[in-house]
Amino acid sequence: MKVYLARLTQALLFFVVCVGAFNWWSDPYGIWGPIDVERLNRNQQVFFLRLSKPFQIARIKPTAAIIGSSRSGPIDPQNPAWRGETPYNLSLHGLTVYEMKRFIEHAIAQGTLRKLLIAIEFDTFIPLWPRTGVGYAEGRLLHAEAQTLSLDSLVQRFSDLRNTLLTSSTLALSIQSWVGKAPADRAMQGDGSWRLNTQNIGKKGFVHSGKLLKKRSDKEQWGIERNLQIFSETLVLCHLHGIDTRLYLSPEHLFMTDFRQYIGYGEERDNFIRAIIALNEEVAISTESEPFPIWGFDHIEGISDQALPEGDAVVPMWFRDGFHFYGKLGDIILEQVWDTSDGQGYRLDSGSVDSYLTEVEQLRARFIQREHEQVLVYRSEILGEE
């Protein structure tokens, strides 16, 4: 019996080692070595970003980074504006303001971050809860001043080591990464960015986004003040560490701007923009620094007021669904914000913000007049009216 148990134990250990070695070699999360994008995207990577990106940041050690929600995911950090840098896109689907702060801290803790582009989205600042997204683990992210790993970080790393090498779920993903087909929804890149798919585009995409917007209209569940406080701590962190930080208001199609007004909270977004600018200037005063540059893009004719698609066919658009913009607009944003192009972006501060909002409103009014019939059709489908 002892011999039998010894051999059984040896066989089990050999099996565990083989599984771990296969999972490490296959690397379905893209965390252990160079990323094979083609194989990586045979699994739905968007579900694993809160696991994979902390590891990738620690390995890549970016000197320039972008952070925002899924709207910023398509921005290619391999841009001429950042030539000579080691760039990375930190963006996450459903990013919360607290997660933004912690991922920036984690990047700073690598000791290399010099440049940072932050996307400001009203919808990111609305939620009172949850504080973090599904799959987030506090122990994966270092604090900016961390000199050694805390006990929580060591426990989390042991847990991640086990879960990414020795579990049956990871084994299934490893096999899928070799034999599966690339998923249709989005393709992750080795620099943290992703390419958007052709699902939820055109009219269908706008209607889907409008319905999500309607769900957020319960002001009793808003946590803007709390999130602004967290964001002020983030700005202080960037000032104290000397990060060349620049901010932009994530652009949206003017149908979405108008729909906010239609359901009763368009004014809140304008006030939020003013609050962000005021906060940025207050933090600069408190840290004896210059305010970080902030840019807006919703006023640009031909982009934010592009004609609404009549169907769901793939047509040349700047926005997939009214909120998520394609990479070509991301390139314009990055080059404009980093002062490498003479684009049409609007530099914002307390003295210029009202003029900017007036231009946006004037463009919105012209758009609604021009697209009146289509706007009524879209609103009807979003609200489920006959």
The per-residue pLDDT for 128 is 86
Average pLDDT over residues 353-361: 97
Average pLDDT over residues 323-341: 91
Q: How many CB atoms lie within 10 A of CB 62?
A: 25
Q: What percent of the chain has pLDDT over 70?
A: 96
Pick from 50, 54, 84, 56: nearest CA to 69:
50
Q: Contact, 251 vs 329, CB < 8 A?
A: yes
How confident is residue 14, by pLDDT bands cut at 50, 70 and 90?
A: confident
Mean pLDDT, the chain, whole residue set: 92
DSSP three-state, residue 211: helix
Q: Which residues pair with 194 in a beta bridge?
A: 188
pLDDT at 312: 65
What tens digit of pLDDT does each residue of 123-155 get?
Answer: 999 998 889 999 999 999 999 887 677 888 899
pLDDT, position 218: 82
3-state secondary structure of 287: coil
Q: Kindly tell me if the per-residue pLDDT of 294 is higher than 90.
A: yes
- How confident is the model at residue 313, as a pLDDT? 59
Q: How far is CA 356 from CA 97, 242, 276, 293, 350, in A?
A: 25, 29, 14, 15, 11
pLDDT of residue 187: 86
Q: What is the pLDDT of residues 100-127, one digit of tens each?
A: 999 999 999 999 999 999 999 999 999 9
Residue 304 has pLDDT above 90, yes or no: yes
Instruction: Provide the token pair at 298.
Output: 């919703």
In the structure, what pLDDT confidence band is assigned to residue 219 with cuts at 50, 70 and 90? confident
Give the whole-number percent of the chain exceeding pLDDT 90: 74
For 151, other C-beta atoms within 10 Å of its C-beta total 8
Given phi > 0 = left and psi -120 to 50 = alpha, else beta, which region is 286? alpha
C-beta of residue 145 within 8 angstroms of C-beta of residue 94:
no
User: What does the alpha-carbon distance between residue 228 and residue 250 come to, in Å, rounded to a whole number?
Assistant: 16
Predicted confidence at residue 386, as pLDDT, reads 44
Give whichever of 31-45, 144-158, 303-317 has the largest mean pLDDT.
31-45
Residue pLDDT, tens place only, 247-291: 999 999 999 999 999 999 989 999 999 999 999 999 999 999 999
DSSP string, 290-334: PPPPEEE-TT-TTTTTPPPPSSSS----SBSSSS-B-HHHHHHHH
